[in-house]
Structures are given as structure tokens and as C-alpha cells.
Amino acid sequence: MPDGVTGIRYPFAKPPAEGQAVEVAAGVLWMRLPLPMALDHVNVYAVDDGDSWTVIDTGFATDRSRAIWQILRDGPLAGKPVTRLIVTHHHPDHVGLAGWFIANGAALHMPRTGWLMARMLTLDEQATPPQETLDFYRLAGMDSAEFERRLTERPFNFADCVTRLPQGYHRLTEGATIAMGGRTWDIRMGDGHAPEHATFWSRDDNLVIGGDQLLPSISANLGVYPTEPEADPVADWLSSCNRLAPFARDDQLVLGGHKLPFTGLPLRIRQMIDNHHGALARLTDHLSEPRTAGECFPALFKRKIGPAEYGLALVEAVAHLNHLHQAGHVLRTKNDRGAWLFRLARQGQ
């Protein structure tokens, strides 16, 4: 291990039970909401502002989540009102119940891009995949059986698990500060997993609220979607990691959106950068023969990809191929099925 770099440690061995909270620092509560997927939970936090609470992220908008939140509000939150809701980014497990909190008296604070994305996606409800989504699947080389299954199936809609956001909100911006729980926090934006992802760095102690930008043990999904098919989230992610790295210290307690709070952030940021450079190197080797995105799973993932993970795996494969393509390392042409076929660029091409 390099000089001056310590390992990643987990000060709290177990997560809070459903409907309960763990105080991870003075006036800062860690709680969990269930998710109906392989990653079966999301971490949420509450910061004590004296006569009220600031809540950070929400979980899905489901009856079960609402019931758990009511238990939390009556129990660990001691019946004090939640007057401010902070949403780190627009993904459903983080923004899902924002509208519910606002209807119950909280003011919404989130980045502009996240607010715009959430507003747009909750209004864009579809009974079957639109043609541009099917075209995106075809270009990515989606497995034919998976494509046929999705052809007439109702796709995932934000409105299924995200309450509609209000017209008004308070914008979180890069370089600004926010007061929570008697602390002043610097706001620093990440990117790649979600555009303009807010993270919070306490000036007064060692706390960092990292959302999905700063996670231990798992990699945040970097995906390309039909809304922006030529996006390069891998470049955005690597740039964000390099931008945040100078602020990381070994003693900081990082409160992430999933898994356990941890210390050892400098090492973790280095791992996150190295993980994607390693994936790109494996993918480059794999493209010694032309491949579609759907044929690149073995190079990118260290486990078998099943139906439940197929969609996230496909959009991550597209993301890494887009990065190599836009850097000029690979070329692409369409095969006879209308899918992009990627191959290594020869010198001078």
C-alpha cells in the first residue's frame, strides 16, 4: 500500500434495522429504506437542526416506504417536523418521495440538473417503449430474446416510484455552502453516475455526505440511455474523481447512498479511478475482434449477468464503448442487424 494511504474501514458493523436509526455523529442519523431490486436498500440521513430536521434523500415512493418514514418520524425523529429535504441526485431511490415530503411541509433543495431531470421523467410516462428506445436497444446489440420481451412490455417509468416534484425548489450549486446541524458544509458536485450530483463536506468535523458519488465496495453504475445516446459518463466520472480527490482525507467518515459508512476516502477514490481504467483496458483487449455492446459483458463484469442486471449492464457497456470511441481508440460500423460493431482503430485511421 502506498505511503500515507490507509485502508478502508467500516466504523459501524451493521446497518440500522427497518424503522430504526443509528447516530453516526452528533445530531446525524443514518436510516435505511428497502428497494425491490438486487441492491436492496438505500441509505437516507437526517440532520438535527434544533427545532426541525433536514432529511437527505428519500427512497422509492411506495406505501411501504411511506409507512417506514412515518415510523421514523414518530420514533427516532421524535415527532419534530422535517422542514428541509435535500436530494443528492435525480435517481428514483433518492428522489422518489420528494413530493410527499414537500406536501408535508418540507422545502426542496437539490441541483438544477437533477430537478429538471426528475420533473421531465415523471411526466414522461409510457405504456410501451417508444421507437427511439427500441432503436437504442438495437444499436447496442441487445440480446434478441431480451429485445422481444421488451418490445411490448410496459417499461420502467419514473412515475411508478417517484412522486411529482413541485415547480419551485432551492438550487444547490458547486462551490456554495449550506448550514445543517450546526455545521457548515461545502457543496461539491460530482458527475458520471448522475449529472450534477451533490456531495457535502463538513468544515467543522470529519463528515462527508457522498450519495452515490462516493461509495465503498461497489461501483456506481455509469450508464448511457436513449435520452443522450452519445454521452460519455466514464469521462465525466473520472474527471469528478480527480476533482474531488484533493479534498479527501483518511479520517473522514463518508456517508454514502448504499452500503456502510466508511473511512479511507483517498484510497477509495484511487480505487474508483483504477477500476474504470482496468475495465477500459480489458475492453480494449476484448475488441481484438469486432463486438457489439451486448457482447462486451465478459470483459467488463466479473460475474454472470442475469435478467435482473441485464439492462444496467448494457447501458454501462455502451458507456465504456462510447468513451473509447470518442477518444479515437475504437471505430464503429453497423452490422447486418443494425447494431454498432466496435473494433480497434489501427494506427493512422
Segment 76-128, tens digit of pLDDT:
999 999 999 999 999 999 999 999 999 999 999 999 999 999 999 999 999 99
329 occurs within a structural domain: no
Nearest to 65 by CA among 85, 91, 95, 88: 95
Distance CA 221, CA 308 (A): 14
326 occurs within a structural domain: no
- Number of Cβ within 10 Å of residue 316's Cβ equals 24
For range 265-289, the mean pLDDT? 97
Segment 8-40, tens digit of pLDDT:
999 999 999 999 999 999 999 999 999 998 899
For range 319-344, the mean pLDDT? 97
Residue 6, pLDDT above cutoff 80: no
Grade residue 303 by pLDDT with cuts at 50, 70 and 90.
Answer: confident
Strand order of the β-sheet with 170-172 is 22-25, 28-34, 41-48, 53-56, 82-86, 107-111, 170-172
Do the beta carbons of residue 108 and residue 119 sit within 8 Å? no
Residue 181, pLDDT above cutoff 60: yes
Residue 230, pLDDT above cutoff 80: yes
Distance CA 78, CA 347 (A): 66
Distance CA 88, CA 83 (A): 17
318 occurs within a structural domain: no
Produce one character per residue of 92-103: b if its CB has 16 or more CB atoms within 10 Å, e if not: bbbbbbbbbbbe
348 occurs within a structural domain: no
Percent of the chain with pLDDT over 90: 94
Residue 52, pLDDT above cutoff 90: yes
Question: What is the pLDDT at residue 166?
Answer: 87
What average pLDDT does the chain have? Answer: 95
310 occurs within a structural domain: no
Q: Which grid coordinates belong to 32? A: 435505511
- Number of Cβ within 10 Å of residue 234's Cβ equals 24
For range 158-177, the mean pLDDT? 96
Residue 1, pLDDT above cutoff 50: no
Question: What is the pLDDT at residue 348?
Answer: 46
Segment 244-253, tens digit of pLDDT:
999 999 999 9
113 occurs within a structural domain: yes
Do the beta carbons of residue 76 and residue 20 sit within 8 Å? yes
Grade residue 182 by pLDDT with cuts at 50, 70 and 90.
Answer: very high
314 occurs within a structural domain: no
Distance CA 46, CA 179 (A): 13
Domain count, the chain: 1
Residue 3, pLDDT above cutoff 90: no
Question: What is the pLDDT at residue 4?
Answer: 43
Residue 221, pLDDT above cutoff 90: yes
The enclosing domain of 278 has a CATH number of 3.60.15.10
294 occurs within a structural domain: no
Range of the domain at 239: 22-284
